[in-house]
Structure 1
Amino acid sequence: MDEAKELFLKNTAALFEVDQVLAYKLRSLENFSQFNMDEDANFIRNDNNKIYENVNEELNKSLEFFKNDFSKYPVLFFYGFGNGKLYKFLCKNKNHKAIVVFEDELEILALAFHLFDFSKEIKNEKLILFYTKDLNLASLNALFSFEFIKKSIKIYNLHIHSSFYAKYYYDKIESLNKDLMEIIRFIVLNHGNDPIDSMTGIEHTLNNIPNMLSHGIFQEFLKARRAKLENAIVVSTGPSLTKQLPLLKKYQNKVAIFCADSSYPILAKHNIKPDYVLSLERVVLTSEFFNNDFGDFDKDILFILASVVYKKSIEYLEKNHRRYMLVHRPLNSAGSLKLDEYGYLGVGMSVANMIYELIGALRFKNVILIGQDLAYADDGKSHAVEHIFGEQGDEVRDNLYTLAYGGKGEVRTQLSWQLFRQHFEKDIFFTKTKLGITTYNCTEGGARIEGTIEKPFKEVCEELLKSDLQKPFEFPKTLSLNEMREKLKKTKKNIEKNVSESENYIKKCKNELKKLDYEFSKEQKNLQTLRKIKDNLLKFFKELKTLKLFNELSQAMYFHNECEVMKYEVLNSLKQDEKLIDFLSSQNLWFLQILDYLKAQNETINKAIKEWGIK
């Protein structure tokens, strides 16, 4: 066997460990019909167009370019693999944790695999390859799950390997770049940008702790109900819900019904009893879904509310003696309370996402979605008939369109619904591959949700829902009064310790900011002193993440600043000094803001635990 063939087999063997599909496709190539290679390792297309005008000259020019301006970048993105020699050199740089390359031609990869040994770089994922014809959003999302890549979003740039790719693959490059930018946008939005909203959730959670401890324990509920049933329906409030209600009523005793808080009053009007009603939002208006009295209808329904809900939601439930349970969302503020048995649910951004997570945790085999339009109806309506805030609960906004249910044409949507759908698609992919759960989209309208099986509601009901279930389902157990009080005392003591740690951190940071103010006030600034202050502030910045009260309030701000810090740190030493004063000015403003929020959070916490009345 010649050396080139051995290299190809070694490289594809390494690729089999990280991407079996691509490795198999490369191994299956029997001949090269589009590209061949000359003695200078230049690849030539069958129309005589070359990837390089001059192989060595272009390589040296590229290496010099990336050495000067990109040597500190943790990740670099490229379109086009070429002969691969550039990436072999770039992988030697220890600062580069990953070189990500997208290639449209299998033959180019195969030829390059005959030239150089990439096996080590592929195995340890220093070199990450994507065949663009097999590319999907799931694989791109997986790429951005690497923490160092996620933090690099403000320095993202898609480099084009050579003018050959720019000339012949421009549309594909543009489309890929658009997809990558959309994922980056999603990451930024997903990290949040509203500390006031986070503070509200923290305040509500703390106020709701006594009610949480006096009701069902979520983890005990999961243990009791896990893998008991096969089929579940998620009832959402999109415009298409109305047409599905007669069929839902017919089959209601043959399936576990999970409904969104907004769907609950609609189901009550049609005498369709859900088994579980879930609520996620912290806003005042959401409480109005429970401002009603449906009498015996509410018997045997379990209301599962995120601990961030507004107090009125609980007051309305208790007023009419409805059974409920509070569950923590997977937020850092909730985690710091050390009440893990009461969590965690609600990673997604909508109550429907929350329901889907719960169904996955309960290990149902089949999930049926109805009313999950995530788009405006043809007449512009945003919600189902009989929604308490009206069919036009959301005004038509955002000039966004997405693929329609059934795959034909497009429907108008909005940004928040896009985010809900992306969460659904991530969760559906996970539950399908890891848990073997099949998801049917029986909305029969609205937006396509990738990963679901689109089928008429009637067909799925006839196929899956054969027998009546033993309803009502059992309710979760609760703590005794003494157990509840002891847990509340322990929680209070833990919180007070966390607040003390936060106050010490604020004091230390403010002292350093005073030094910075003093240096800024000087006419002649000392570069060495400013560098030292910068180092100290960056040390305190990283320390913030270790605080027990580092949570969603500070998390979003931390992530955005983390990206800004990386943007500065990848500069070469000369440019860092040139930008030092601007960088310190921005850090000064950031610290002032975050310290104010930490102080406000401490005050909110102290006020809440005082109202518990526990000494």
Structure 2
Amino acid sequence: MRFSTELFLANTQALFEVDEILAYQLRKLQTPYNFTIKQDETGLNFINKQGVKLYENPMEKTIQDLAFFKENYSKYPILFFYGFGNGLLYKLLAENEKHKHIIIFESELEILALAFHFIDFTQELRNEKLILFYTPNLTGVQLDILLHQVVKSYVKTYDLNIHSDFYADFYSEQIKSLNTQITSYICNFVLKTGNDPKDSMEGIEHTIQNVPKMLTHGIFQEFLKQRKSKVKTAIIVATGPSLTKQLPLLKQYANKAAIFCADSSYPILAKNNIKPDYVLSLERGALTSEFFNNNFGAFDKDILFILASVVHKNTLKYLERKKCSYMIVSRILPFSVSLKLKEFGYLGVGFSVANMIFELCTALRFENILLIGQDLAYGEDGYSHTKDYQNLNIHKGHYERDFGKFTTTAYGGQGQVESSLVWTMFRQRFEEDIFYAKHKLEIQTYNCTEGGARIEGAIEMPFKEACETLLDEELKKPFEGAKILDSKKARKKLMQTQEKIQNGIIQAQKFIERVKIELKKLETELKKQEVDEENLKSIRQKLLVHFEKIKKLRLFNELLIPLYFHEECEVLRYEVLKDLEQEKKLKVFLEHLGSWFVEILAYLDTQNQGLKKFIEKWNFDDMDLEITTKG
């Protein structure tokens, strides 16, 4: 290996294609570096200003490490390391085709730069076989994206390997902090996949019930076309403890911005005679419907209520009783997507209704989005919501009691505030969306809450200053309504949807019967006093084939995905074991996998029965009447 400026330029150019910021930082480095190079018969070494070497014997260490990882990690699709060193180990590990990604965190730009002068990493960087992070640049958003897009089901094989004693000696605190941060994000990522099949089934049933109403009300994609880029600024009204102090200003500037509010904020705004343009609702529980169980008379005129497809039937009942204008939008959940009603979706990727509203505001391409009442933390009095919140007593201490207490940086960056795991998930979603909105859509987000938790990426600005700076034009309200589908097309779409679901039920039933045959063989084999290892291996292979085929079912959806995800993590953890370890644990693994299949088939059968029941209740004769009365 020889020092090559051309190689450094080639490596940084390859890196530029996947990480512009890091590539630019490496190109900007001024020489001479703080690290010096030593290359002799022991290999390539770097030495810091204190005279400490990265390795005692570089080549010997690389040979030892390579043997260790070949012995213990050869089947791992994802490997994590702290410290890039001279890079030779990663170049050699990348030759293993089973390693899909080698993720490396480095705290010294100069170490990366020096290694880039000696070894060609261009191919490994371009195909993301090597994924590099410079730790001072690292954000929670990047970690979350990494887990979603790269690590996914391999979270249970996570292990942060330290490249050399040099890093353990000089960066022990950074390593501990990084490991804590990654494991925290893994926990949150696992939670985000869900673990409550009952909750998922409820959402699927509500969606099925709401499909006829969806088809006879506003068309979401047409609504986006009508309203996109028509107004510069949106205000999102949530119900955090700080909301009350912002209401007088909101009322003053109500006609100079598009006002979006959460279902829980709607009664509060009505009480203060502040008419929102849009009210959104996301939750599937009956309690959330009670925000609409009221009679505000003329106040409701010209408000568009935008409902996620999973909402409880009472929400629709209350809005229809009041003759309110509403539109139902599919969430981008697998079941809704399988119905292929694209013009009526998709919205509600996030975890809270406020996340849903932010997503809608970005789809409508506002230039500025202002957040108020978005505390995501307890107030000083211990309450989770503003004093006018309808269910205040129900929620006092609720998040802390059910999900544990968290602390996070306070609004303004000074001190800490009490938060919760759920609010942390909401906040992290906001931070991802704000990052995307700014860098991809050139939308600026202002956090005008003036309290609660800091939301990274949002500009913190007093609400008064934001109003005076950004809201300078009276808007023509009410805004245009949403187009409605022709009655014949609506009826045809409902019939097509029914057929899709029926076909999915038939496919799922055939799958259940096929898997039951293998489970019977497994049960018979496990009952034998002398277990036949070859028979077990054959059954394992067939069950794993069925395990993969589950994902191809039309009805593989949010009911099954969390159950599948958690088991897939276990399967992958077994698959990366050394051959001898796999053989030792084969029986236990199959007992566990068999039990899981029994559970999943029961859920699949329950889903089949539930879907049959609800589509049989669809009344096609009511379609014309519904469109006539609501159109």
TM bucket (normalised to shorter chain) is over 0.9
More deviation, 116-125/456-465: 116-125
Per the TM alignment, residue 391 of structure 1 is displaced from its structure 2 partner at its CA by: 6.2
Q: Does 1:604 align with 2:607?
A: no
Rounded Cα–Cα distance in structure 2 between residues aligned with 1:130 and 1:533: 42
Q: Does the 8 Å contact 1:203/1:605 carry over to 2?
A: yes
Q: Match of 2:538? A: 532
Q: Match of 1:6? A: 6
Q: Does the 8 Å contact 2:206/2:312 carry over to 1?
A: yes
Q: Does the 8 Å contact 2:512/2:601 carry over to 1?
A: yes
Question: TM-score, normalising length from structure 2?
Answer: 0.95
Per the TM alignment, residue 482 of structure 1 is displaced from its structure 2 partner at its CA by: 3.7
Alpha carbons of structure 1 residues 10 and 484: separation in structure 2 relative to 1, 3 Å: closer
Q: Does 1:348 align with 2:350?
A: yes
Q: Match of 2:202? A: 200
Rounded Cα–Cα distance in structure 1 between residues aligned with 2:143 and 2:339: 35
Q: Match of 1:362? A: 364
Rounded Cα–Cα distance in structure 2 between residues aligned with 1:292 and 1:97: 56
Q: Does 1:381 align with 2:383?
A: yes
Report SS of the residue matched to 1:604.
helix
| The one of 59, 64, 67 aligned to 2:67 | 64
Q: Does 1:94 align with 2:100?
A: no
Rounded Cα–Cα distance in structure 1 between residues aligned with 2:13 and 2:291: 58
Rounded Cα–Cα distance in structure 1 between residues aligned with 2:349 and 2:145: 17
After superposition, what is the alpha-carbon deviation per residue over 1:121-178, rounded to whole angstroms, capped at 9, x for unaligned?
122211111111222223223322334x212100000000111211111000011111
**Which stretches in structure 2 are left out of the alignment for 5+ residues?**
622-631
Letter in 2 for 1:33: N
Rounded Cα–Cα distance in structure 1 between residues aligned with 2:394 and 2:538: 57
Q: Match of 2:419? A: 413
Per the TM alignment, residue 6 of structure 1 is displaced from its structure 2 partner at its CA by: 3.2
Rounded Cα–Cα distance in structure 2 between residues aligned with 1:486 and 1:22: 53
Letter in 1 for 2:205: E
Q: Does 1:140 align with 2:146?
A: no
Report SS of the residue matched to 1:67.
helix
| The one of 176, 190, 195 aligned to 2:192 | 190
Per the TM alignment, residue 43 of structure 1 is displaced from its structure 2 partner at its CA by: 2.1
Q: Match of 1:266? A: 268
| The one of 519, 527, 543 aligned to 1:521 | 527
Aligned counterparts, 1:82-161, within 5 A: 82-147=85-150, 149-161=151-163
Q: Does the 8 Å contact 1:441/1:453 carry over to 2?
A: yes
Rounded Cα–Cα distance in structure 1 between residues aligned with 2:128 and 2:38: 27
Report SS of the residue matched to 2:279.
strand
Report SS of the residue matched to 1:325.
strand
Letter in 2 for 1:243: K
Per the TM alignment, residue 555 of structure 1 is displaced from its structure 2 partner at its CA by: 0.8
After superposition, what is the alpha-carbon deviation per residue over 1:478-510, rounded to whole angstroms, capped at 9, x for unaligned?
234443333222211221111111111111111
Number of aligned residues = 613
| The one of 553, 561, 576 aligned to 1:555 | 561
Runs of 4+ aligned structure 1 residues displaced above 4 Å come to none
Percent identity reads 55
After superposition, what is the alpha-carbon deviation per residue over 1:401-450, rounded to whole angstroms, capped at 9, x for unaligned?
00111111111001111101111111111111111111111000000111
| The one of 76, 79, 100 aligned to 2:79 | 76
More deviation, 279-288/383-392: 383-392
More deviation, 220-229/29-38: 29-38
Report SS of the residue matched to 1:413.
strand
Aligned counterparts, 1:143-292, within 5 A: 143-147=146-150, 149-292=151-294
Letter in 2 for 1:299: K
After superposition, what is the alpha-carbon deviation per residue over 1:94-114, rounded to whole angstroms, capped at 9, x for unaligned?
111111111111222222223
Letter in 1 for 2:355: N
After superposition, what is the alpha-carbon deviation per residue over 1:498-538, rounded to whole angstroms, capped at 9, x for unaligned?
11111111111111100100111111111111111111111
Q: Match of 2:22? A: 22
Per the TM alignment, residue 119 of structure 1 is displaced from its structure 2 partner at its CA by: 2.0
Q: Does the 8 Å contact 1:385/1:391 carry over to 2?
A: no
Q: Does 1:395 align with 2:401?
A: no
Q: Does the 8 Å contact 1:232/1:258 carry over to 2?
A: yes
Q: Match of 1:572? A: 578
Q: Does the 8 Å contact 1:35/1:108 carry over to 2?
A: no
Q: Does 1:438 align with 2:444?
A: yes
Rounded Cα–Cα distance in structure 1 between residues aligned with 2:255 and 2:173: 53
**Which stretches in structure 1 are left out of the alignment for 5+ residues?**
none
Rounded Cα–Cα distance in structure 1 between residues aligned with 2:362 and 2:586: 49
Letter in 2 for 1:284: A
Report SS of the residue matched to 1:571.
coil
Aligned counterparts, 1:494-509, within 5 A: 494-509=500-515
Rounded Cα–Cα distance in structure 1 between residues aligned with 2:191 and 2:407: 19
Rounded Cα–Cα distance in structure 2 between residues aligned with 1:603 and 1:560: 25
Letter in 2 for 1:31: P
Rounded Cα–Cα distance in structure 1 between residues aligned with 2:30 and 2:589: 52
Per the TM alignment, residue 272 of structure 1 is displaced from its structure 2 partner at its CA by: 0.3
| Cα root mean square deviation, aligned | 1.5
Q: Does 1:317 align with 2:316?
A: no
Question: TM-score, normalising length from structure 1?
Answer: 0.97
Q: Match of 2:54? A: 51
Report SS of the residue matched to 1:326.
strand
